[in-house]
Structure 1
Amino acid sequence: MTGKNGIELLAAFFTLGGDVYPFGPTEISPIPFKDRVEAAAKVGYKGMGLIHADVQATAAQIGLKEMKRIVDDNDIKYLEYEFLSGWYLDGERRAKSDVMRTEMLEVAQRLGVRNLKIAPGLGSDLYAPTEAEMTPDVDRMREAFAGVCRDAAEYGVRVVMEIMPFSNVRTLEVARAIVEGADQPNGGLLIDIWHMARGGIPYKDIEKIPSRFIGSIELDDADADVKGLLWEDTIYHRRLPGEGVLKPKEFIQAVKNAGYEGPWGVEIISETYRKLPLAEQAKRSFETTMAQFK
């Protein structure tokens, strides 16, 4: 169902992925793809998130054609595909990234993916990246981002770069310099409420971004205090919208004021939530998020 106010929600991969988390022992969901899509559709989601490792595993089992049929049969209108890293580096890491880029874009085209999500620099060690890894080369990243966008355009795919407080793109100023500087018609930013709040970025600053550069939005919530390192807080302790202190209604209003009109992503990554039954994950994440638009 689409809300009375025209709101459409997209369940990011980890929201319905089961007991997995980013860069964990595996990012392959223990829940069959068909079950996840049907659970999302049943409660009213109009979009789904995909992740590369899980797509590869699922395609090996049932094929991309069957995946597309499942998506279409359940009226899932929007797909987002994550997470391309290393796209601005050089050497062996860039070579691996380029291979993955081609693989992801070919899959994205066949499945009808809306957005390819790309990562900022997260460092070789997520728990203690070096200062050099956290210092952005904006000119280099701007040029590389434009290159990803040009490649993606050939496949009919948009590209969105996420802002993260534990990365080398942790401010709106740097993010905008890269994406707006690249000035690609299919390039934009992915803005997640958790990363804005934990990064100390006022929601009102979102209103300064030209709407065409806001490519994707993600909603969730968090406790007042960070538990452990920021990285640990984001993969273990997120809350459902409205069950924390991040004030998602204020965030939503700022995004609306900026002119965003696309689907709204829901990304819940929590060590307790991900162990719930799939139907409960779907129902609770959908209903708590829709309540923020009232």
Structure 2
Amino acid sequence: MTDILGAYWTTAGPVTIRTGREWSLFGWEERCAQAVESGMTGLGLWHADLAHLLETRSLADIGAVFRDHGLVHLELEFLDDWFVGPDHPGRAAADERRRLLFDAAAALGAHHIKIGNLARSAASLAQLTDAFGALCRDAARHHDSLITYELMPFDINTTSLADVLQILDGADEPNGGIAIDTWHLGKMAIAPEDLRVIDPRRLLYVELSDGQVANMPDHSEETTRFRRLPGEGEFDIPGYVRVLAEIGYHGPWGVEVLSDALRALPIDEMFRRTVASALAQFEGVRP
């Protein structure tokens, strides 16, 4: 069985990423029901949506709805500025978000918490290594969820796969590893065979997303509005799937497609197309 996780931005519907309302107008029960109907085994929650849900219900209630629908894998995101010093302007908000995500991970039994550097704060690899190790140890004191560092082309600190792997190896924490997104791989010109350098112990989460090789003028707009479902773009998604499976990845396969076109679809079609496009990438590949 191939476990498909519908990442938050793929399943949230009409939201405005970064510049407006980020919480979903789709109810939590509705999303869970559609996930099961479409064949997903998991869903994702973005921190803003989680906070919105908590305005009217408890973590226990959110978890009960998720489990009662038979869903298994939950993703929580996103933690920024986890590595900045106490005097950094983003530190207070980062600490508050860390508490939110850690409490949710403990209550909901999340598969992982995704972290990275969307805020584009500067730090050395040594600083990141120390901070990642401390974050993983702190996480282990509160919950059993994994901490996954997402490799991104717009992270000003880790500009290559080797940089992220250096941080993970240096920290050497059992609950810490890398989150791979095929859209980011395509944009960074990282070929499927290049992924064989990853230690299987560090390969904790994979997301499928397609797009075009040539960059649009506005990179932020491209990544939040014009991604494509797996197999509908120019990246070698089956090649990535094959190599990652051969390395030994055995977790859920997320689908993270931030797309105006996808968000405009009726919810049932959105979920159905997400699963169908993802599963098509596994033809001839043993997950």
1:203 aligns with 2:198: no
Q: Which of 26, 29, 36 does residue 24 from structure 2 map onto?
A: 29
Match of 1:68 among 54, 63, 67: 63
Could you tell me how far apart the structure 2 residues matched to 1:293 and 1:121 are?
Answer: 30
Structure 2, unaligned runs of 5 or more: none
Are the equivalent residues in 1 in contact too, given 2:186–2:213 (CA < 8 A)?
no
Partners of 1:10 and 1:264 within 8 A in 2: yes
Conserved in 1, the CA contact under 8 Å of 2:183 and 2:209? yes
Q: 2:149, 2:51 → 1: CA distance?
A: 22
What SS does the aligned partner of 1:28 have? coil
Deviation at 1:99, TM superposition (A): 2.3
Alignment of 1:45-124 (within 5 A): 45-90=40-85, 91=87, 92-120=89-117, 122-123=119-120
Counterparts in 2 of 1:1-294, with a 5 A limit?
6-90=1-85, 91=87, 92-120=89-117, 122-123=119-120, 133=122, 136-154=123-141, 155-168=143-156, 169-294=158-283
Q: Whole-Å Cα distance in 2 between the matches of residues 228 and 271 of structure 1?
A: 17
Name the CA distance, whole Å, in 2 between partners of 1:224 and 1:165: 13
Give 1:203 shift.
Answer: 1.9
Distance 1:183 1:21, change over 3 A: farther
TM-score by length of 1: 0.91
Residues 108-131 of structure 1, C-alpha deviation per residue, up to 9 Å, x if partnerless? 11111110110225426xxxxxxx
- The sequence identity of aligned pairs, in percent, is 33
Following the alignment from structure 2 to structure 1, what is the Cα–Cα distance between the partners of residues 194 and 46? 29
CA RMSD of aligned residues (A): 1.3
- State the TM-score, normalizing by the size of structure 2: 0.94
Residue 286 of structure 1 deviates from its aligned partner by 0.4
Distance apart, 1:31 and its partner CA: 1.0
Q: Deviations over 1:172-197 (max 9, x none)?
A: 11101111211000000000000011
CA distance in 2, matches of 1:283, 1:267: 14
**Partners of 1:163 and 1:195 within 8 A in 2:** yes
Deviation at 1:96, TM superposition (A): 2.4
Quote how far apart the aligned CAs of 1:225 are.
Answer: 2.8
